Amino acid sequence: MGALWETIAFSFRTISTRHQLNVGIYLIFQIFILLAPLCRYYYCFLHLPTNARGTGINAFDYMVLGRMIHFAIPSHSLYSVSASTLATIFVSLDFISFIIQLVGGSWAGPTSPESRQLQGIHIYMGGIGLQQFFILIFFILVVKFHREMLKMEKSTLPLPSSKSHWRPLLFTLYCTLGLITVSAPGVMPHTHL
């Protein structure tokens, strides 16, 4: 669904290049481009307890770490918080940051007064900053998991064979977190400022 909404958004963005004065066409682009990530995260959140089929990269990372904690750490928790609770918390926090971005983006529409557009840009950027803050906290948890796994490997008890192949998935998490951070977290709607 998220991919369909992004396709609709960019189709209307393409159409708006031919009809630059038509605010309605541009508004459809703006709404769908801001709602597409919400759709992905909402989908992930609904399916969180039973599977990891969601298409949101952040939410997928949160669920992957949760499952790694559940299956690799004997207590099934990190910092005394259960693996499933950690994933649910971070998906919910990311969803909140996208709602904030959506509100900011809607305020910064091309038909809004300049003062309202500026407020919208600040709210939108605040949502992006909040999302990056949550990713930083999540990164700290990933590092903690990494250290716990190294500690378990150095202990006298060997890891079961099912738990010995954790590194590739962990380094994939590091890579995706880095890519999320350096890539554009969203498309800021065009304004007349």
- Which residues, 6 or more positions from 141, have their beta carbon under 8 angstroms from its beta carbon? 65, 78, 79, 86
CA distance 110 to 117: 8
- The two three-digit tokens of residue 103, written as one number: 């509100």
- Which residues, 6 or more positions from 42, have their beta carbon under 8 angstroms from its beta carbon? 95
Q: Is the pLDDT of residue 161 over 60?
A: no
Which has the minimum average pLDDT: 24-28, 149-153, 166-170, 182-186?
Answer: 182-186
The residue among 161, 165, 179, 173 whose CA lies nearest residue 65 is 173
Q: Is the pLDDT of residue 54 over 50?
A: no
Band of residue 10 on the pLDDT scale cut at 50, 70, 90: confident
CA distance 178 to 59: 15
Q: Is the pLDDT of residue 74 over 60?
A: yes
Q: What is residue 49's predicted lDDT score, i.e. its pLDDT?
A: 39
Across 22-26, 49-53, 144-148, 153-157, the highest mean pLDDT is recorded for 144-148
Of residues 59 and 139, more confidently modeled: 139
Q: Which tens digits make up the pLDDT trace of 78-95? A: 988 998 899 889 988 988
Q: What is residue 146's predicted lDDT score, i.e. its pLDDT?
A: 94
Could you tell me the pTM of the whole model?
0.70
